[in-house]
Amino acid sequence: MSIAARSIERTTGRAVEAIEASDGLAGIGLAWKHRPDLIVADEITSHAGAFALTKELKGAEKPFGGKIVILLDRAQDSWLARWSGADAWFVKPVNPFELAETVTRFERAAEEEAV
């Protein structure tokens, strides 16, 4: 993902700070604590994966306001990404430039909303 991070930094002029979680449960806790603008969640099946993380954060009484991108192991799981409330998803292997383009689009949309 370092190629994607560098591309995002070049395009937006903002540094990318990464916080890593070992699984979805840890990710949920970190998301509520740090309130990141973006979460990139890998589809894992143990200890609450990307779908559970997304459903929990997006479906909360006071929903998580950031964007969530899920990295899928297979295209057939795209319906789960949509069901969970993900803002975008990619099937692995992920093209880092496509990921960076999506994140940059999210960033620009947020800036336009703020104006």
pLDDT for residue 50? 93
Each residue of 10-20: b (16+ CB within 10 Å) or e? eeeeeebeeee
Domain count for the chain, please give it. Answer: 1
Give dist(CA 55, CA 41) in Å, integer: 12
Q: What is the CATH number of the domain that holds 26?
A: 3.40.50.2300
CB 14 within 8 A of CB 104: no
**Could you list the residue range(s) of the whole structural domain that residue 60 is in?**
2-114
* Percent of the chain scoring above 90 in pLDDT: 52
pLDDT digits (tens, 9 = 90+) for 34-88: 999 999 999 876 667 899 999 999 999 888 889 999 999 999 999 999 999 999 9
